[in-house]
Amino acid sequence: MANANAAIYVSWGGAIPGREAKSLEVFMHAVEYYGRLEKEGKIAALRTYVATTGNSQFSGFMVIEGEVTQLRTLVDSDEYKSILVKARHLVEGVDVVHCVTGAEVLKSIEQLVTARKQLGI
């Protein structure tokens, strides 16, 4: 796996009733798309997890790993935006969280400390 200092965490719930087949189509498209980006070296890794127990509020999640700059390019792409828009119309509870690790954590903490000082808190 290539270096990764950031990740995008995408989670989702159950399909909206009547949209199950379409939701599976979009899911498979997303897995294929991110898999292709991984093979092309445009992201470091894709990890997909599907819940085998639980409830309809949490059906699974993906972790897309890469360098901060790679993932910024990804989230600005039309394909990424299209997949998310479609997913939000087909499944409940789509949530996206951008995360960092390594040296990027220190940068984030420094930004937080600076902002708090500027706000006087």
Domains delineated in the chain: 6-119 (3.30.70.100)
Place of tokens 């995008």: 8
Q: Tell whether the model's pLDDT for residue 1 goes beyond 50.
A: no
Question: pLDDT tens digit string along 6-43?
Answer: 999 999 999 999 999 999 999 999 999 999 999 999 99
Phi and psi at residue 54, to the nearest 5°: 115, -145
Calculate mean pLDDT across residues 59-77. Answer: 97
Q: What is the 3-state secondary structure (H, E, C) of 18-72?
A: CCHHHHHHHHHHHHHHHHHHHHCCCCCEEEEEECCCCCCCCCEEEEEEECHHHHH
Calculate mean pLDDT across residues 44-50. Answer: 97
Write down the pLDDT at residue 2. Answer: 58
Write down the pLDDT at residue 69. Answer: 95
Share of the chain above pLDDT 70, in %: 98
Question: pLDDT tens digit string along 104-118?
Answer: 999 999 999 999 999
Say if CB 20 and CB 118 are below 8 A apart.
Answer: no
